[in-house]
Chain A
């Protein structure tokens, strides 16, 4: 039986979002079709390439003949994590994948409905998304009220404050976008729309549910992977090993950045508790009976509601005095929403399913870390994978895997904290390294992270290709040979690359 001898990796160019089609060949024969994620950031689009176009292109490549019909077929659908820019194409209304025949669906253990920790994580996430939505709306409303009543015109640096405020509000909603458009059904007394029981579902979850319930049909089964798992000797993937590297199953899940300064080792301590208190407070303020200690930090003490207080001379002369409006603190507490949003975003990124695919004969490895951040990366080094080489057994470490990586899908669209330095990129020493970055310009401040791009270019000797960033068009990149690479290597690389308006494809031979 012959082994897989080449792999084609196709990165789609539909905007800010991940969609990778990975096809494994035995000679000319297509043996295994894997799709890793298919999503586009909310409110982003490319003029001539919709996500439906992408799915149509996939169909062209993966359809097989069943009787008289051509059926799109995937051997494996890998869904890395719950972010809209990775799953939007699975939105049920779109029905883009409904006619697909999918043999296997691979997800991280964090999606396993039977996993106790996963349940907790997801319940928390749900609450947090709700709270964030509430806070974002309240803040936006207050900004417009203050604007209308002239607060900003009468405050020193007011116009700047307003600018900052509006930017903050929009940054908040763009973070919410990761969870898909915010859906709501009923209106609370304070004018905020949320579903009953706070059981709101974000579009991301709907997309996930759709995958789990509708796309997983017939003989296909969902597999939830723990880190440290090794897949080998698969019938249709002879000569291929797949190492499951993340997400971690320990506290590192919550770690999104290297510890230092104020953040030192508090990621599971006070600050998370602090978030919990905030979330409860927000939900309570929207009418839910969820605040800690029944919504008040005190029991059995005298309290005067805000409405009542307006009739007290004392408060009229102080807090509600017209001259003192500049010192009021109605929304200050809600600014915490920024931190909450960041934390949620990072936490979710860390639930990314990370796969390293090895072509055994040549030892080449393709690394797909999705949006894994620091904690996820660090945890790879906690595992070893026992592999058999003939009669001897060898323990493979993350360092070995990184050392042999010849293809790297840049983590989290090449943001600053999703490619680990010493224990990550610096260990990718293979001379043949190629990097693909699915990303589009001006979607997020700091993405891509310039210093990282520089370092990636050094490590990969200029073999770095972007999907949709107008500042780094692959057509241009391929025109001139970078300084650090020999002509021979550069020509060899170009030969293996196909660039169209729809995708960029790289062929790796197992040699």
Chain B
């Protein structure tokens, strides 16, 4: 390495790539008061980009995680790729934000996607991986022959002509749409101008989150409970919203407008709603936060209704409850944090003197808000690791938030956890099987006894430590993927894989029953019995077949600088159920069938169980077992009734049923596209 004449090492890569982009939606650039705050600079970790074929310097927007291909099939053209390494472009933090330059669109999409990915990685303590691609058996395309690593998510910034964008899990792609503006408020968008969904921070972050969540828990796209689809939507919106709030520049403008009662802080809620408005139908997820009074034109927070969760079933409305709950928690935490500041600024009265807020105060407040948002974002993301792998409910999510936070911050002196619990409680979201809404009962039981023979326990945890050792220095996502596969199924480095070890150390040991109970799975050893109980039989495990869906290392640094080393394993199992509702309206199970024989059991349904096992590498013990029991008849009933009644009130049902629409482009395609239909 030779230092060049500039005094910097030419081999040293810059830590960041700075790219300008819209903070809001371009429509807000047209409003004078917001125009100055609309452009922000996204700071993204530097990465090498692919070179344009046969060139040495020119790059295309394709890096470690994503590749942007700007194809517009409706128009029948490609828009050439932006070269983000172009030197003039580097010198001025990327292209000028512009609606009319497709290369800037690519830059914007790149900037927000990468920001979202990095936020996830910071919270999860590991690399983001996309959901695998399945390669089918030629004879039966419903069966997986092999699964393949997906290196890059494919991004199409101009794929659709509609006010919609979606993540397509079959294509591992995000498709963005554009449409002519015909705005509700004509002053905001040029009538006849074009609105591009790929220029909205919140829409990009929202769709990216769908893709990331799909990579974490692939069963979450199955609508088994009124909460599952709502959760996917709400979670995506929560990430978009709080990521947006982590930019203090965005908040400053709004906070500077504060007058009078500073503690009310309605401005932030209003801001959340305003971002939402710019997103069209996406905005409905923020409806439960608050509303603008039609008479006074003042923004008012919604008073949460404890019956909301029990009564609202449409998944946008339901998702909105979760978004509002998290936002409520955020506001309360923020208010708590700025209490002292307010006392100083108002001489203890809480009421501001007339006139503009002091600019330093504006800075302080916006920084606090941005920090709080960033904390809440991390809490929300991390909690996903503590969720069961199937059939997730809002209650499960609350328990996950509390447990995850407990692992990171032992004493809750800032009352974050209480803020979350209160916000959920106010909306009637109670997890099942919990005795009270206290932190102690909501947090999952720590260190449940596995009753393993010592040698087994040691061997197993040693194996996990080996996994940690081998994986923690890998940075290449393909290598991480391959090695993880090896640790699940066996291979030269791992030798015996996790699957086999579970078979030997747990299932076929004395603690088999206890493990089955903790995991909520059934390991029937007899082939005929399996048939009766509705499980496929695995010749490999010699038990009812089960899968290991994920193996993750989570290395996280707590706010107190402690390092938490966890290995997370998620397991899943499925069984076929034939059920009916009898004359008394009671749920009855007729029989079970093997999922392999789904074709002969068209009237039946597939019921899944699963568990998330979190091992603590420091104590060498199983720390949590978070399960959805495969034997839970009540859950079967819930799923059955839900799937029977789920079409109620859906206009599209008359011609296209739910499966048709979802089957075309995946479940996310029509979540935002139902133009006139609830």
Contacts and interface: CB of A to CB of B under 8 A. Distances in A.
Tell whether A and B belong to one assembly: yes
Interface of A: 152-161, 163-165, 167-168, 171, 174-175, 254-264, 266-267, 269-278, 280-282, 284-285, 291-293, 295-306, 309, 313-315, 317-319, 326-327, 329-333, 335-336, 338-339, 341-343, 345-346, 415-417, 444-447, 451
Contacts of B71: 306, 319, 329
Interface string B66-105: 0101011111111111000000000000000000111100
Contacts of B648: 451
A270 B677 contact: no
Contacts of A314: 52-53, 60, 81
A309 B171 CA distance: 21
A333 B184 CA distance: 25
A200 B146 CA distance: 50
A258 B651 CA distance: 10
Given A297-B196, A335-B665, A278 B161 contact: yes
A425 B567 CA distance: 58
Interface in B259-293: 280-281, 284, 287
B129 interface: no
B78 A315 contact: yes
B403 interface: no
Contacts of A175: 655
Interface of B: 52-54, 60, 62, 67, 69, 71-81, 100-103, 133-136, 138, 140-142, 144, 154, 156, 158-164, 168, 170-173, 175, 177-184, 192, 194-196, 280-281, 284, 287, 314-317, 320, 647-649, 651-657, 659-661, 663-665, 669, 671-678
Given A281-B161, A315-B78, A332-B160, A259 B678 contact: yes
Contacts of B173: 327, 329
A300 B101 CA distance: 9
B279 to A, nearest CB: 10
Given A158-B141, A314-B53, 15 more contacts: A156-B136, A257-B651, A267-B676, A274-B164, A277-B194, A301-B79, A305-B77, A305-B78, A329-B156, A330-B73, A332-B175, A333-B73, A339-B673, A444-B655, A445-B654
B677 A155 contact: no
20 contacts: A155-B170, A171-B656, A175-B655, A262-B281, A269-B183, A271-B163, A273-B163, A278-B162, A278-B179, A280-B180, A298-B100, A314-B52, A327-B173, A329-B71, A329-B73, A329-B173, A338-B656, A342-B651, A444-B654, A445-B655
What 10 A-B pairs have minimum CB-CB distances, sorted nearest first? Answer: A164-B663, A273-B182, A261-B316, A274-B163, A156-B134, A158-B141, A277-B179, A313-B53, A271-B675, A281-B161
Contact of A304 (B80, B134, B144, B316): B80
Contacts of A315: 78
A318 B100 CA distance: 25
A435 B570 CA distance: 55
A264 B287 contact: yes
A465 to B, nearest CB: 22
Contacts of B103: 301
B655 A339 contact: no
Nearest to B136: A156
A333 B74 contact: yes
Given A262-B316, A298-B100, A302-B79, A274 B675 contact: yes
A339 B664 contact: no
Contacts of B194: 277, 292-293, 297
A336 B673 CA distance: 8
Contacts of A271: 163, 280-281, 675-676
A384 B140 CA distance: 63
Contacts of B672: 262
Contacts of A343: 675-676
B651 A417 contact: yes
Given A314-B52, A416-B649, A261 B676 contact: no
A305 B656 contact: no
A301 B194 CA distance: 15
A492 B653 CA distance: 38
Given A160-B142, A261-B284, A306-B78, A342 B162 contact: no
Nearest to B154: A327
A192 B53 CA distance: 37
A160 B179 CA distance: 31
B69 A167 contact: no
Nearest to B163: A274
Given A329-B156, A333-B161, A342 B655 contact: yes
A163 to B, nearest CB: 8
A273 B69 contact: no
A353 to B, nearest CB: 21
B76 A153 contact: no
B141 A160 contact: yes
Contacts of B280: 266, 269-271
Contact of A270 (B183, B320, B664): B183
A263 B283 CA distance: 10
A351 to B, nearest CB: 15
A262 B678 CA distance: 6
Nearest to A259: B678
Given A270-B280, A301-B79, A445-B655, A336 B161 contact: yes
**Which of B52, B71, B181 gathers the greatest number of chain A CB atoms within 10 Å?**
B71
Contact of B675 (A153, A282, A339, A416): A339
Nearest to A305: B77
A339 B655 CA distance: 10
A318 B69 CA distance: 8
Contacts of B144: 156
B162 A446 contact: no
Nearest to A152: B141
Nearest to B71: A319
Contacts of A296: 72, 75, 77
Contact of A333 (B78, B162, B170, B661): B162
Given A275-B675, A329-B156, A153 B178 contact: no
B669 A335 contact: yes
A426 to B, nearest CB: 16
A284 B171 CA distance: 26
A152 B163 CA distance: 28
B660 A168 contact: yes
Nearest to B62: A318
Contacts of A285: 74, 76
Contact of B171 (A270, A298, A326, A445): A326
